[in-house]
Structure 1
Amino acid sequence: MKSARSIPLSLAAPIVFIWASGFPTGALGVAAAPPFLLTTVRLTLAALVLAVIALCSRANWPNGKLLGHTAIAGILTYGMQFGGCYGGLSAGVPASVTALVIAMNPVLTAALAACLLRERLSRIRLVGLGLGVLAVVVTLGDQVLAEGTLNPGIFLTMLGLLGFSAGGLYQQRCCAGVDVRTGGAVQSAAAALAVGVAALLEHGHVTHWAQATAVLLWLVLAGSVVGTACYLRAVAVGGASRASALFSAVPPVSALLAWPLLGEIPSIGAVLGIALGAVACVLGTRREPVREAEREQVAGG
């Protein structure tokens, strides 16, 4: 069986930046358009762009059961995640708090992977996950406590977290070998159909077309196209737990990006969180040494 490897910095850095930028730009987007409509349009455009790329490059498309598995992974990873996050943002959840909740993905994914996939967690990776939690708590914990009670917006954001974690594990377990171009197209299309049902039931309309268009361009080209490809590649290279460990650095980076976009000045806690998140990423995605017993087992078939 092929073992998971470390995720290189050239792949980890764009994932962190793209996902971090999605929270403040998402807040700008739901201020200009209904959340589920915004999510549906984003995913539809992403599916079209990825499909064109896949057709031009003659990539292999999944079929049969693999096609169904890919669609389910897309509904979980992108439909539930983005629909939940944008719904929460529209309900008043701050972008920084949304980033904090989604950054719990490494903890939830690692726990699910240990229970469902029997994936071993080394002490170093446990320390990395712990530092990731500490990073987001130090950075944004006071804002979560200020919320007081669990409101509908927080519930939607938590639903997004659950979909993100479950989708990453489903991708690892059932979608191995799927091309990132065709897989991304199928997943985005399936997620768009699922969220589109909710969009038909929501109220509201686009209030600022220029702002909504600019946000969609960034979310589609950077988030859905480049971000999807990078994340699927990270899952394939390092596994769902290692890929999700990268998101411990997202909240502090998101807080930093929110400064010019939303006028939120980073606090000292945000700076400290950036440092803790960076260490957490290194520990959570580092390559673990292979024990002698495991080497002999692999060599012996």
Structure 2
Amino acid sequence: MSSPPKTASLSFALAAKLAPATFVCLWATGFIGAKLGLPYVEPLTFLAVRFALVVAIMAPVALLLGAVWPNLTTSGHVAVVGLLIHGGYLGGVFVAISLGMSAGLSALIVSLQPLLTAALVGPLLGEKVTLRQGLGLVLGLAGVALVLSGKLAPAGTGTLFAGFGLDAVVCALVALLSITFGVVYQKRFCAEVDLRSGAVLQYAAAGLAIGALAWIFETNRIVWHLDLVIALGWLVLGLSVGAVSLLMVLIRLGEASRVASLFYLVPPVTALVAFFLFDERLGPLALAGMVVAVLGVALVVTERRS
């Protein structure tokens, strides 16, 4: 009689252990999807179509599954999270890349997020960041810098900031601040919201904002190439439905600083995927950096045994 609950408990424990690695692998493919699709559509238009498709898929699912919808005040908080995590973060990264910033440099700037999150969680959430975790955060940043050290300057220029201007830097910084405050805000105000209804409200808010900006500032022209269709399909199902839902679960179950540290692993994993898909080579420093980043995250996310 006790076997089914025990089996279910073991399955849940296994899923919980695999969740962080699954999230990192899914999230890392976002840069790959952007690289594949952006040649055929402007960045804000790309995101607006993506968010509209996500809402069209998830809203009926939430209704059919009987999701609990938050009250008006909580819905406002959920909308803020959507504007920050989906609108500000993704919009900032996509526009920065479209303005000439390399994906490597934009990834490095956004990877400062764990340090900012660690600085915020104490005053805002009352979470204590230990010395061990602080060391892990610094190691993670150092590992990311090593991985991307050979990718920051455009080929043949030898100059870090060649090919783009201050507007691209501002967009990348907007993305950094948006994902940082989005994670903290989600943990502080939306921890108990039903993930199904919450996702619909988040994407709806982000879609309205990004869609308005795309209508004002872009031509909205789309070239429906197969690469774009593949990228859009994966970004909708794998990233917006899969990875972001998993991120919300991780934020709910874990400390914000620990969840944020997982973002250090995204650039190294992205570089590894790009090696197999686009033949982007990894040098010795990059390989060493991947090891350092993994060690740094391990220091942050693993509990010290008594």
Matched, 1:248 2:264: yes
Q: Give the counterpart letter for 1:211 in structure 2.
A: D
- The match for 1:148 is 161
Partner of 1:124: 132
**Residue 287 in structure 1 maps to residue 303 in structure 2:** yes
Deviation of the 1:33 alpha carbon: 0.6
What is the CA distance between 1:123 and its match in structure 2? 1.2
Contact persistence 1:20–1:99 (CA under 8 A): no
Corresponding residue for residue 38 of structure 1: 46
Deviation at 1:47, TM superposition (A): 2.0
- Opposite residue 66 of structure 1, the aligned amino acid is T
Please provide the CA RMSD for this pair.
1.9
Say which is worse superposed, 19-28 or 205-214, in terms of deviation: 205-214
Contact kept in structure 2, 1:132 and 1:280, CA below 8 Å: yes
Q: Is contact 2:102-2:152 (8 Å) kept?
A: no
Between the aligned partners of 2:214 and 2:178, the Cα distance in structure 1 is 18
The 5-angstrom pairing of residues 194-213 of structure 1 reads 194-204=209-219, 205-213=221-229
Quick check: 1:23–1:96 contact (8 Å CA) kept in 2?
no
**In structure 2, how many angstroms separate the alpha carbons of the residues matched to 1:288 and 1:32?**
48
* Partner residue in 2 for 1:158: 173
Give 1:128-277 correspondences, 5 Å limit: 128-144=136-152, 146-148=159-161, 151-204=166-219, 205-277=221-293
Which secondary structure does the structure 1 equivalent of 2:41 belong to? coil
Displacement of 1:61: 1.3
CA contact (8 A) 2:104 2:152 kept: no
Deviation at 1:142, TM superposition (A): 4.8
Q: Alpha-carbon deviation of 1:288? A: 4.9
Distance 1:208 1:172 in 2: 38
Cα distance in 2, alignment partners of residues 236 and 288 from structure 1 = 21
| C-alpha distance in 1 between matches for 2:303 and 2:73 | 32
Question: 1:16–1:246: 8 Å Cα contact kept in structure 2?
Answer: yes
Residue 149 of structure 2 aligns to a residue whose secondary structure is: helix
Instruction: Return the alpha-carbon distance in structure 1 between the equivalents of residues 55 and 93 of structure 2.
Output: 19
Normalising by structure 1, report the TM-score: 0.88
List per-residue Cα deviations over 1:162-211 (Å, max 9, x = no partner). Answer: 10011111101111211111111110111111111110123342234322
Structure-1 separation of matches of 2:106 and 2:252: 26
Give, as a single letter, the amino acid of the residue that structure 2 aligns with 1:152: D
**8 A contact 1:24–1:95 mirrored in 2:** no
C-alpha deviations, 1:52-97, integer Å up to 9, x for none?
2212211111122111100111101111011111111111222222
Aligned to 1:49: 57
CA distance in 2: counterparts of 1:165 and 1:129, whole angstroms: 14
Q: TM-score normalized by structure 2? A: 0.87
Q: Secondary structure at the match of 1:31?
A: helix
Q: Distance in 2 between matches of 1:47 and 1:242?
A: 29
Number of equivalent positions: 284
Q: 1:177 to 1:234 in 2, by over 3 A?
A: same
Deviates more, 1:220-229 or 1:139-148: 139-148
Q: Where do 5+ consecutive residues of structure 1 fail to align? A: 1-6, 291-301
User: What is the identity, as a one-letter code, of the residue corresponding to 2:171?
Assistant: L
Equivalent position of 1:59 in the other structure: 67
- Structure 2 partner of 1:294: none
Are 1:94 and 2:110 an aligned pair?
no
